[in-house]
Structure 1
């Protein structure tokens, strides 16, 4: 019987009811708050990391852009924790679903663009036409820049989906090869096991990096429009 490599990316259900909403809400339980836990090393470390990341994200923004601080830090915490939880055995990673990533990317991108057209209308329209463009190329460049603008949320979602899915598939393939080689060649199996461990460590890094990249790009779109 051939195993379906994409079975782990199918939304889990209970009695035919998708439980993806419960899975998406799960990461919030892991973050301690002052109402659930007395201040400890864990909460102090959490606050220090949040302040460090927030400082990096808000460094380029003006006062209007900094009003998005809570949204951006919530976004990076959600994506990062969801990616990390997806590395656990027999788990499900919501960020492997393009529909969910588009559901995050499109509203955030649209809010940034609408903010730009509302408060910086001339500057936002000027982005559609580079300075010094020949008159004959103006219609073509406006169309190209408009298409590139609307591709931005798609690029955000596809980048996150592709990176997380590729890593999970690679781990699945190497893990399956290690299991098969255990009874055939223990020496080769030990080598693939080492590769699998190193790949798992790499995936932990990728899970956090992709969360930061997604949030950073949203922050850059916001910076261009505030």
Structure 2
């Protein structure tokens, strides 16, 4: 039973799809979708995802991460997975996985740590040189190194909180509007009910755009972090 609007973020509440089953189903769906072009004729959904993939590939190719083997493919695959997880959270009585910090932080930390380890393994001195901005006054060098080091270590947390905050806020507002819509069916006039229905449909469409934009921003930040990789 859902007792408040925040109960939708609890995987032990009554939902139609179990949390662990949902994870497996979505992962298998994403894996099969990436290779469906081999045996499925072109459709609107396939063309849509091809456009999204081309956007991510173009962004990753503009960054230095394109010089890393498999970086563009991993980033594009994760974008599709994250977009599908964000969309699944908009379905009623389906647990929203991407609205939890444990989910986003797991991927954010893995991307961040892999880039840091790869950079220091490839060129240790060049990686250390990125900690000091070019042309900075010499008396500020120790302070700037500490600030840059702290900002680098906080990156996986900030990129994860950004995703969780935007997805969670959208679900909360959507739940509030949905609750008001349920009350309007009984207590309000037909005109008020139509207005609330239009608001609900409009905000739901807006949340679909937010789901895609947040997936893109997450991958965009990862590609920007790869620009500091030592070469």
For normalisation by structure 2, the TM-score amounts to 0.85
Q: Distance in 1 between matches of 2:200 and 2:150?
A: 41
Cα 1:60/1:122, change in 2 over 3 Å: farther
Q: Which runs of 5+ in 2 are unaligned?
A: none
Cα 1:193/1:119, change in 2 over 3 Å: same
Contact 1:60–1:223 (Cα < 8 Å) also in 2: no
Contact 1:179–1:189 (Cα < 8 Å) also in 2: no
For normalisation by structure 1, the TM-score amounts to 0.86
Displacement of 1:139 after TM fit?
1.9
Query: What CA deviation, in whole Å up to 9, does each residue of 1:21-66 have, x standing for no partner?
Result: 3212222326446579733123852673365134323321455325
Q: Which runs of 5+ in 1 are unaligned?
A: none
What is the RMSD computed on CA atoms of the aligned residues?
A: 2.7
Find out whether 1:8 has 2:8 as its counterpart.
yes
Q: What's the counterpart of residue 24 of structure 1? A: 23
Structure 1 runs (4+) greater than 6 angstroms displaced: none
Q: What's the counterpart of residue 110 of structure 1? A: 113
Q: What's the counterpart of residue 100 of structure 2? A: 97
Displacement of 1:182 after TM fit?
2.7
Moved more, 142-151 or 21-30: 21-30
Contact 1:171–1:200 (Cα < 8 Å) also in 2: yes
1:175 aligned residue (178, 192, 206) = 178
Q: Distance in 1 between matches of 2:192 and 2:118?
A: 57
Contact 1:13–1:19 (Cα < 8 Å) also in 2: no
Secondary structure at 2:187's aligned position in 1? coil
Q: Distance in 1 between matches of 2:131 and 2:18?
A: 42
Query: What CA deviation, in whole Å up to 9, does each residue of 1:154-207 have, x standing for no partner?
Result: 111001100110000000001111221233322323222211110000000111
Q: Distance in 2 between matches of 1:13 and 1:192?
A: 27
Cα 1:68/1:128, change in 2 over 3 Å: same
